[in-house]
């Protein structure tokens, strides 16, 4: 396994990568925060195959540039079936990676899904919108800072209407003073 830091490449064995991942677990063992560790595709594959992640409910994997293949590894992981929060911001998963997430049977317990800043276009949005109703627990979906055009955004809004998704973030100015469907914020906040 090779993981790249800003300075120089690091070469790790499976036991070394397992230790690295375990060191990033929260004290209660429920959150694994691997944000900005430059793990790329191989890191996504390695973490997806770690048995100890079966106990986590939150995976923070933002800013690792894992690409669509890394997203596929995460989506297919048999150990991530208990996740309620998956943060994949800035990983360049593209439309292909979005498709892997959309059709995953292993991620249907997710309540919070962050796919922001991943170069996802309308094709990925259409696929996600098609399968979104299967994500019956999903409450918040962040798709800001992608390449969605009006057709992709419209498809996502239509999918939102047939499910319990309360927060759908599509535009970069959304998310600061979020309102639930049918509610108003007080004091203009």
Q: Which residue shows structure tokens 């498709």?
A: 99
Domains and CATH numbers, the chain: 2-171 (3.80.10.10)
For the chain, what's the residue count? 189
- What is the SS3 assignment for 44? helix
Determine contact, residues 12/43, Cβ cutoff 8 Å: no
For residues 21-35, b (16+ Cβ closer than 10 Å) or e, as one string? beeebeeeeeebbbe
Which of 131, 130, 157 lies closest to 143 in space, CA to CA? Answer: 157
Question: What pLDDT sits at residue 155?
Answer: 98
Tokens of 37: 């560790």
Which residues make Cβ contacts (< 8 Å) with residue 161, sequence separation at least 6? none
Res. 141 pLDDT band, cuts 50 70 90? very high
What's the helix, strand, coil split of the chain in %, to 5?
A: 40, 15, 50
Helices (H) and strands (E) in the chain, counts: 6, 8
Q: Residue 152 pLDDT > 60, yes or no?
A: yes
Mean pLDDT of 104-129: 98
Predicted confidence (pLDDT) per residue in 159-171, tens digit: 999 998 999 999 9
Q: Residue 188 pLDDT > 60, yes or no?
A: no
Mean pLDDT of 72-92: 98
Task: Give the least confident one: 15-19, 142-146, 172-176.
Answer: 172-176
Strands laid side by side in the 31-33 sheet: 31-33, 58-60, 85-87, 112-114, 140-142, 167-169
């Amino acid at each position: 396994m090779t993981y790249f830091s800003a300075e120089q490449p690091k070469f790790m064995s499976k036991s070394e990568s397992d230790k690295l991942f375990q060191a990033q677990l929260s004290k209660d063992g429920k959150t694994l925060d691997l944000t900005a560790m430059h793990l790329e595709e191989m890191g996504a594959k390695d973490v997806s195959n770690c048995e100890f992640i079966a106990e986590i409910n939150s995976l923070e994997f933002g800013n690792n540039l894992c690409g669509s293949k890394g997203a596929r590894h995460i989506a297919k992981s048999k150990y991530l079936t208990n996740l309620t929060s998956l943060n994949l911001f800035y990983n360049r998963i593209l439309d292909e990676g979005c498709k892997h997430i959309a059709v995953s049977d292993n991620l249907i317990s997710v309540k919070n899904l962050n796919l922001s800043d991943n170069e996802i276009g309308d094709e990925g949005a259409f696929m996600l919108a098609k399968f979104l109703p299967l994500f019956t627990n999903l409450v918040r979906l962040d798709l800001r800072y992608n390449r969605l055009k009006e057709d992709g955004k419209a498809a996502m809004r239509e999918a939102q209407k047939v499910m319990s998704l309360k927060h759908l973030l599509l535009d970069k100015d959304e998310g600061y003073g979020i309102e639930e469907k049918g509610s108003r914020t007080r004091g203009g906040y």
